[in-house]
A = this chain, B = another copy of it.
Amino acid sequence: MSQLAVWIVGAAGHVGTCTLAGWAALRAGLMPPTGLVTVGDPLGALPLAGFDEVAFGGHELRERSLAEAARALVAEGILPAAVVEHPAVAAAVAAAQAELRPGIAGSGGWDELQRIRADLAGFRDRHGAARVVVLNVASTEADPPDVRDAGALPDEPEALLAAVQGGRRLPASSVYAAAALDLGMAYVNFTPSTGADLPGLDALARARGAVHAGADGKTGQTLVKTVLAPMFAVRRLRVQSWVSHNILGNEDGRALDDPGRRAAKQRSKAAPLAAILGYAPESRVGIDYVPSYGDWKLAWDRIVFEGFGGAQMSLELTWRGSDTALAAPLCIDLIRLVELAQRRGERGALHHLALFFKSPLGTAEHRLERQWQTLLAHLLPDEAA
């Protein structure tokens, strides 16, 4: 009987498929745990869930099967063919395929909430799982500014659920979050969509003894920003402008070609800079959708800063990586870390996981090294002391 079961919203996307196939590959020892924070020294010493015996399922809107999605990972150079075609991985993919259910798009109301709730409960019961982690890696939603407005939704969990029952619709990501948290499951939002980031949903998590973490995985350009910006801050070199461009060709890129969704992403990407520097330099964040790039994202940054005497100096960066291969190990880490938190009886938003996110819930700390220290202090207080 599995202790842990994982439900992926957007399971047949690149990140979802790579997360579950990667989990199986790690279990079978087919590749090293490169990019995982929870393996090796020091976090490997924690009593985290092992890679054995975890059931995967998920919601999906697309037609394509997980097997097709896994083959796409090979075609795009994300995972080696020898890994994806290995019987252990193929079996895990097939098992998860049997647990795929149709997802919801855009927004949902009471009926959708009940259906998602039933899907999650059924999954948990079929696998007799003690704990379920629900991971959102579905496409970024268009920005729905109204639900986040003060007073737009009740802050009390029961009132919020009543409002939905009474006809109020929520963004799809929040419907999944509400269903998971209401069932006492853990919820991780790896996207900039709303998810559990509503006062009523955080309160729901606390009421049901559930935990949640988010938002928007810090995988590439923003990761680099949150180590470079502190350098300028510490050395008091004044950043005049920071121009960022991204080229990407995957489904995420296609979604972000939509101006509404792009706005949500851009806001998430721009915020850390001012927070770290203490002032807002001239800043641009551009996203170009160029299909032939596939999953291999290119991020370009050009920073102009002022030095002693006022002369302009510059730093220019080009980062090239597989968006999926950068995200998947963080998803695996998050599954293990929220499961541990839930097992230890924590409740609500997990602030110590800020390291993983562009828009960390409940903290203004964006500096990577400080986030890392916060994580260590929370998880390994004796060592950190």
Contacts and interface: CB of A to CB of B under 8 A. Distances in A.
A116 to B, nearest CB: 29
A236 interface: yes
Interface in A69-110: 77-80, 83
Contacts of A32: 310
A236 B34 contact: yes
A314 B237 CA distance: 23
Nearest to A295: B311
Interface in A194-244: 223-224, 227-228, 230-231, 234-238, 240-241, 243
Contacts of A300: 245, 300, 302
Contacts of A292: 240-241, 282, 304
B368 A234 contact: yes
Contacts of A363: none
Residue of A80, A238, A300 ringed by the most chain B CB atoms within 10 A: A300
A183 B161 CA distance: 77
A37 B233 CA distance: 9
B227 A231 contact: yes
A34 to B, nearest CB: 5
Copies held by the complex: 4
Main secondary structure of the interface of A (DSSP, over half): mixed
A259 interface: no
A259 to B, nearest CB: 12
A274 to B, nearest CB: 16
Contacts of A325: 307-309, 311, 313
Given A291-B282, A292-B282, A309 B79 contact: yes
Given A247-B243, A316-B318, A319-B314, A309 B80 contact: yes
Nearest to A292: B240
Interface residues of A, number: 70
Contacts of A317: 315-318
A290 B241 contact: yes
Given A236-B40, A286-B286, A310 B369 contact: no
B290 A307 contact: no
A160 to B, nearest CB: 36
A307 B326 contact: yes
Given A245-B286, A282-B290, A308-B326, A236 B33 contact: yes
A309 B368 CA distance: 24
A369 B80 contact: no
A355 B314 contact: no
Contacts of A309: 18, 22, 31, 34, 78-80, 83, 322, 325, 328
Interface string A1-45: 000000000000000001000100000000111111101100000
Given A308-B35, A310-B80, A369 B282 contact: no
10 residue pairs, one from A and one from B, having the closest CB atoms: A313-B321, A369-B369, A35-B308, A308-B329, A307-B325, A240-B292, A79-B309, A316-B318, A227-B231, A308-B325
